[in-house]
Amino acid sequence: MRELIIQSVSRIDLVIWSLVILFFCGCSLLFGGDFTLSFIGAAGVIVEMLIISVAIEIIIEALKTRKGIGTITGFITNGPEALCMIVGLAVGDILFAASTPLGSNFMNPLLLVVAAFLSGSILPLFTCRPRYTLMTIIVTIFFAVSFYTLPQEYYPWWTIGALTVSAVLFLRRPEEHHDGNEEAVISGINLWLAPAVIVLIATGYLLDPVVGFAAEHSKAPKGVIGFFVLAALSSWPEFKTCLGLLQRGKTLQAILNITVSNITNIWLAVTGVAIYLYLN
């Protein structure tokens, strides 16, 4: 376990953590925020990012010898989006319920490219099943955008179209080949798999409120918060998963982590819209 914690923290993490502190504390000084509370908020964001990184490493190590790891992690990293959708439905706000999963469809592909660049896997990324990858990303982004442009009376048609097309994309996803020569799973690591998944989902869900606390007290510009803070940092689980898989040479699995995550986001939004229409 100690080795996994050390492995999960890289120079990239240290740089990002430093930027998080610099961003929030710098904004508090520039825009008249509370420096102390901004630092506390930034520290909270870093702690959550560290916990997420460790949980991701445990999950990948536990599943690395199993076929379908890309698909599995694609489902797992959508746990926070699922919880946000439930919260939105509970308060009767369908736009809020659908916004978190659909919004992630824009950031996920960008984070995949960033992870490939940082891991030196740009060429393998763009030569591994490019048609399927590009088609899935474009289609899932299209349904995310179209949801916000449609009047509510067209929601039933949107759910039918989105569900049908996304199901076809999921069924036609590339098959992950199992490498029988890979080393055995670390002894005892499977015992940590279920707790790691629970921690990942819970921490991912709490990341947005912690980021919001830091943003509020630093008085950071709302436009910058929307892109850098809420969008990028809230997708940290997907980014760390892609980075971990690419560093292990699992390019197809990293791609599937993002494409399956985008497809799952569509399914979450479809489920939320269907429940909202049924209750109203």
Is 55 in contact with 205 (CB distance < 8 Å)?
no
79 or 45, greater pLDDT: 45
Is 61 in contact with 185 (CB distance < 8 Å)?
yes
Asked whether the predicted pLDDT for residue 132 surpasses 90, the reply is: yes
Q: How many CA atoms lie within 13 A of 85 on its CB side?
A: 24
Three-state SS for 34? coil
CA distances from 51 to 46, 48, 131, 180 (A): 9, 5, 35, 30
Q: Quick one: pLDDT at residue 69? A: 84
Q: Quick one: pLDDT at residue 73? A: 87
CA distances from 9 to 195, 204, 246 (A): 20, 17, 16
How far does Cα 238 stand from its chain's mean position? Answer: 4
226 or 125, greater pLDDT: 125
Q: Quick one: pLDDT at residue 163? A: 96
SS (H, E, C) 201-254: HHHHHHHHHHHHHHHHHHCCCHHHHHHHHHHHHHCHHHHHHHHHHHHCCCHHHH
Pair of tokens at residue 186: 């670390």
Position 146 confidence tier, pLDDT thresholds 50, 70, 90: very high
Is 169 in contact with 136 (CB distance < 8 Å)?
yes
Q: Quick one: pLDDT at residue 75? A: 87
User: How many C-beta atoms surround the C-beta of residue 183 within 10 A?
Assistant: 8
Is 61 in contact with 232 (CB distance < 8 Å)?
no
pTM of the model: 0.79
Q: Quick one: pLDDT at residue 184? A: 46
Pair of tokens at residue 107: 């950031």
User: How many C-beta atoms surround the C-beta of residue 113 within 10 A?
Assistant: 14
Position 276 confidence tier, pLDDT thresholds 50, 70, 90: confident
Asked whether the predicted pLDDT for residue 179 surpasses 70, the reply is: no
Asked whether the predicted pLDDT for residue 178 surpasses 70, the reply is: no
Mean pLDDT of the chain: 82
User: How many C-beta atoms surround the C-beta of residue 18 within 10 A?
Assistant: 11
What are the tens digits of pLDDT across the range 235-260?
A: 778 888 898 899 889 999 999 999 99
Q: Quick one: pLDDT at residue 186? A: 47
What are the tens digits of pLDDT across the range 136-145?
A: 999 999 999 9
Q: Quick one: pLDDT at residue 231? A: 57
Q: Quick one: pLDDT at residue 187? A: 47
Which has the minimum average pLDDT: 4-13, 30-39, 74-83, 93-102?
A: 4-13
Q: What is the DSSP letter of 173?
A: S
- Above pLDDT 70, what percent of the chain? 85
What are the tens digits of pLDDT across the range 81-118?
A: 777 777 777 767 777 677 778 878 888 999 899 999 98
Q: Quick one: pLDDT at residue 174? A: 93
Asked whether the predicted pLDDT for residue 185 surpasses 70, the reply is: no
- Above pLDDT 90, what percent of the chain? 34
